[in-house]
Structure 1
């Protein structure tokens, strides 16, 4: 838990609001992430999540600023770019290998629909 909190705070700029040995609240702007250890309600054997967490930012400029701050501090999955589906985003791995994408609507450009 400590290592994960440090990654989200030191690399991604989140603030830790509350932390216990098995639970942490992390905040950045309008985003809240809760990290929790396995609980007694299920038979936990190993991590099961196999997707990508998408964190939407307000503007493409915010995506660019975050990209500049983290690109040399995290494992990059894909660099910041504009995609055909209208998003300006990048992807990295967190300290546990989970895939995180940070994006916003693409910046309008002449001749390209938004």
Structure 2
């Protein structure tokens, strides 16, 4: 099994720019109403909120449902290979985006930093370390 996340965004070009310029993703595939981004084994799909139905019955995605905080209750964790790569990415991101929480060592033994994308999706960027994977 693999995981691919699909995020509904307000402005496709702004979101593609953020993920490519700030976090180092590359465009894997682009259509009029969908972009697939890749960085290593991570695949993110971006789709426009405007293409969603206005209302539906049930819990499906709708424009009305996403008028609030799109990322509420979800933390997207992006993991790089090591602390050196994390530090380099942090410096790169710091020059290009607002950082929500600075790079630091957490109580569970990993370093991370946090930021939000243009639509408010909350991202935690950390490093892999098999000795500290308790979280």
Normalized against structure 1, the TM-score is what?
0.81
Q: Runs of 5+ in structure 1 lacking a partner?
A: 107-112
Q: How does 1:1-80 map to 2 (within 5 A)?
A: 1-38=12-49, 39=52, 42=60, 44=62, 45-47=64-66, 48-50=70-72, 51-80=74-103
Q: Runs of 5+ in structure 2 lacking a partner?
A: 1-11
User: How far off its partner does 1:49 sit?
Assistant: 3.1
User: Does the 8 A contact of 2:71 with 2:120 survive in 1?
Assistant: no
User: Does the 8 A contact of 1:14 with 1:27 survive in 2?
Assistant: yes
| Deviation sequence 1:40-84 (CA, Å, 0-9, x none) | 583501424312211111111111010010112111110111111
Normalized against structure 2, the TM-score is what?
0.70
Tell me the matched-pair count.
108
User: Does the 8 A contact of 2:71 with 2:122 survive in 1?
Assistant: no
Give the RMSD, CA atoms, in angstroms: 2.1
